[in-house]
Amino acid sequence: MKQMLIKSKTTSYPIYLGTDLLKRLEQYINPSYTSVLVITDQTVATYYLDDVMNALKQFSVHHIVIEPGEQSKSIEQFYDIHTKALSFGLDRHSLIIALGGGVVGDLAGFVAATFMRGIDFIQIPTTILAHDSSVGGKVAINHHLGKNLIGQFYVPKAVIYDVATLRTLDKREIRSGYAEIIKEALISDEAFFNDLLLTNIYQTDAKTQVNHLYHGMRIKASIVQQDEREQNIRRYLNFGHTLAHALEQQLGYGQLTHGEAVAIGLLFALYISANEYGNKHTYLVLLDWFKKHDYPLMIPKINVNDLLNRMKVDKKVVNRHIQMVLLKSVGQPELKCFTDREMVEYITSFFSELMKGIDK
Amino acid sequence: MKQMLIKSKTTSYPIYLGTDLLKRLEQYINPSYTSVLVITDQTVATYYLDDVMNALKQFSVHHIVIEPGEQSKSIEQFYDIHTKALSFGLDRHSLIIALGGGVVGDLAGFVAATFMRGIDFIQIPTTILAHDSSVGGKVAINHHLGKNLIGQFYVPKAVIYDVATLRTLDKREIRSGYAEIIKEALISDEAFFNDLLLTNIYQTDAKTQVNHLYHGMRIKASIVQQDEREQNIRRYLNFGHTLAHALEQQLGYGQLTHGEAVAIGLLFALYISANEYGNKHTYLVLLDWFKKHDYPLMIPKINVNDLLNRMKVDKKVVNRHIQMVLLKSVGQPELKCFTDREMVEYITSFFSELMKGIDK
């Protein structure tokens, strides 16, 4: 088992990373909680809810099962969980456990952050993608005008990452998770990036997965610890996300997984970077790697102005100008603002080139 | 003008207290905000919105006017303000100003706390009652099962308290505000309590008001600074509130003002204290003072079990037992848990005695 301590301004919390941690879950949980509420989704519940409920028998334990997918991060679902938590009798000394991927973590975390002004929560990520949201204390729900627009910074008490739960992931979820790992490598570690380019992500063993996850989380933790509230360098973690968020929304959540949208967003950011800094190598090798791993890069025709407007309600907008994270080279991110007109041109030429690249 | 600095774990903020501060509002606001959103209610808007908008002309400034009253602290109103803020183009570098009483402060503060994971806000209290919520960083909305159940701890950048705005308060609002000042005195300062007992709160001048507010906020600040997240002594501030919250809800918000409900809650807590510690003097002098100031103490017949159940969804419940703040003597609060049965008995005998006391 690997372990790392994530420090925030006022507190710190451990991440436990290894195999078969779920079986000894009770070891990681303070026995003094008055009750425990496990929040999970239907998919994860099928595989792991019984294990978790059994491991927590000693507590007064309740559970809520939500529908899988981004649409569950709604204000209605958020309120409904509050209602259920109150009717279960949760109090300020109760614990919420988020058992699942990023959606469950974001939603359950935001409920924990706001239930009676904040109670403890523990994350048990069951996807590769969730390694990303396990570090950094971002919790949120969606607004119909944009993703993650209602939320806060609220760190878990602990993250218990059992890679045995990753065995049940399908290819889509594996590539979705690896898009974020690739992003972490791109913004800070060329050797790790090159290592990933040589990996077949559908055929990794538990040990390799632990290493990749550990490496990715280390990169993220190091950035977040320097800038918890996203005043400066934390913005680099949004590399690829300005387009990705808009794309997910425009196509409707569920069409592309978050990571699949990020993959296209990474290519877009690298495409602009190539244009601004004059080196297209990274764009090309990554495009090639995405194609080899069957990332869906062919997307339906979209209205460029709608997409632009969605990019502009993003949280990273500064004075109504879109601020992009670009890459001077691997490991060297930089922020740059663009006018609407420049953005429209880039979006148009990027998608046209991407479609050509895929036809080949 | 008086000024005090409120310290929290990670930050600190100033409270400016005096007359005619609204006129020079722009002096207190950092000019670098990309835009400003003023949130207020219809009543306050009539008197002060124009002044505030004029004083902020230099900014890109927007406003939202909500209905006055507790029912505006709903999840729907919360979401609606997010929608409007997004459509106004607010970003992470925008400011929200809460212009009004506790309802506006709680709601606007919680919006600020969660808008794109938190933007700055400034409170401009326009009621006496709001002195209480100006200190301590509690922001929240209501759940249909209980008051302030969804919220967080989030401190303003500054509080600008212009007592000139208190001139437009009616008697109801004055006594509502003074109930919290009385509470602050009761839990920590006998001399201040005795001083208040000699005050006619409907005939105070600006200077006396400034002093009372300053004194009340000092007491609260001193407690909050020792216990920001309500782990121990901050609970004393809930003196009188367990019954008050339940009563407000049961009678329907608007029947009693918050402070009027607190007045009854204070008497209830003092009634139990008299019973537990054997001294009824404080109960009697306070009852007398409330009567002299026309506090409404005669309430409609209520179902005791319903009231009990509402008290039990309060945030201060520990393991389903109601925890009351009691007073051994003025300035000496103490926590005590009660079983349902004990509570029912106390509620019944208290209301029966109160009705008798009022008939006299």
Q: What is the ipTM of this complex?
A: 0.87
**Chain A residues within an 8 Å CB radius of B320:** 89, 91
Phi and psi at A94, nearest 5°, equal: -95, 165
Gap between the Cα atoms of B26 and B54, Å rounded: 10
Burial class (CB in 10 A: 0-12, 13-18, 19+), A87: exposed
**A321 falls in which pLDDT band (50, 70, 90)?**
confident
**Chain A residues within an 8 Å CB radius of B144:** 83
Q: Report yes or no: A93 at the B interface, CB cutoff 8 Å.
A: yes
DSSP class of residue A122 equals E
Which one of A83, A140, A320 has the shortest CB-CB distance to B145?
Answer: A83
Q: What is the mean pLDDT of chain B?
A: 93
Q: Which one is the CATH code of B2-168: 3.40.50.720, 3.40.50.2300, 3.40.50.1970, 3.90.1150.10?
A: 3.40.50.1970
What count of CB pairs under 8 Å joins A to B? 104
Q: Report yes or no: B320 at the A interface, CB cutoff 8 Å.
A: yes
**pLDDT tens digits along A269-311:** 999 999 999 989 999 999 999 999 999 998 888 899 999 999 9
Q: Give which of A171, A220, A180 is closest to A200, Cα–Cα.
A: A171
Q: Are the CB atoms for B155 and B7 separated by under 8 Å?
A: no
Higher pLDDT pick, A171 / B300: A171
Q: What is the mean pLDDT of chain A?
A: 93
Q: How big is chain A, counted in residues?
A: 360
**pLDDT tens digits along B182-241:** 999 999 999 999 999 999 999 999 999 999 999 999 999 999 888 877 777 889 999 999
Residue A315 pLDDT greater than 80, yes or no: no
Q: Mind telling me how many Å the CA of B56 is from chain A's nearest CA?
A: 18
Residues 6+ apart with CB under 8 A from A159: A6, A13, A14, A15, A16, A122, A123, A124, A125, A134, A135
Gap between the Cα atoms of B113 and B275, Å rounded: 42
Q: Give which of A68, A36, A67 is closest to A54, Cα–Cα.
A: A36
**A195 falls in which pLDDT band (50, 70, 90)?**
very high
Alpha-carbon separation of residue B94 from A106, B38, B72, B86, B227 (angstroms): 24, 11, 23, 11, 30
Phi and psi at B301, nearest 5°, equal: -60, 135
**The pLDDT of residue A45:** 97
In the block, residue with structure tokens 């590399």: A239
Phi and psi at B232, nearest 5°, equal: -145, -95
- For chain B, the structural domain boundaries read 2-168, 171-359
**A57 falls in which pLDDT band (50, 70, 90)?**
very high
Alpha-carbon separation of residue A95 from A56, A110, B139, B228 (angstroms): 12, 13, 21, 20
**A312 falls in which pLDDT band (50, 70, 90)?**
confident
Kindly provide the residue ranges of all beta strands, DSSP E only, lying in B169-210, ordered along the sequence: none
Kindly provide the residue ranges of all beta strands, DSSP E only, lying in B68-145, ordered along the sequence: 95-100, 120-125, 138-143
Burial class (CB in 10 A: 0-12, 13-18, 19+), A265: buried
**Chain B residues within an 8 Å CB radius of A114:** 114, 150-152
Q: Which one is the CATH code of B171-359: 1.10.287.70, 1.10.8.50, 1.10.357.10, 1.20.1090.10?
A: 1.20.1090.10
Average pLDDT on A134-144 reads 93
Window A:101-130, CB contacts with B under 8 Å: 113-118
- Subunit contact B89:A320, Cβ cutoff 8 A: yes
Which of A114, A311, A312 has the highest number of chain B CBs within 10 A, making it the mutation to test binding with B? A114
- Subunit contact B145:A87, Cβ cutoff 8 A: yes
**The pLDDT of residue B316:** 66
**pLDDT tens digits along A61-111:** 999 999 998 899 999 999 999 999 999 999 999 999 999 999 999 999 999
**The pLDDT of residue A181:** 98
Residue B177 pLDDT greater than 70, yes or no: yes
Residues 6+ apart with CB under 8 A from A351: A299, A302
Q: Report yes or no: B86 at the A interface, CB cutoff 8 Å.
A: yes
Window A:177-236, CB contacts with B under 8 Å: 229-230
Q: What single-letter amino acid sits at A351?
A: F
- Subunit contact B117:A82, Cβ cutoff 8 A: no
Question: Would you say B131 is a known binding-site residue?
Answer: no
Residue A256 pLDDT greater than 60, yes or no: yes
Residue B358 pLDDT greater than 70, yes or no: no
Geometric angle at alpha carbon B109, from B104 and B111, rounded to 5°:
100
Residue A360 pLDDT greater than 60, yes or no: no
DSSP, collapsed to helix, strand or coil, labels residue A221 as helix
Average pLDDT on A312-337 reads 86
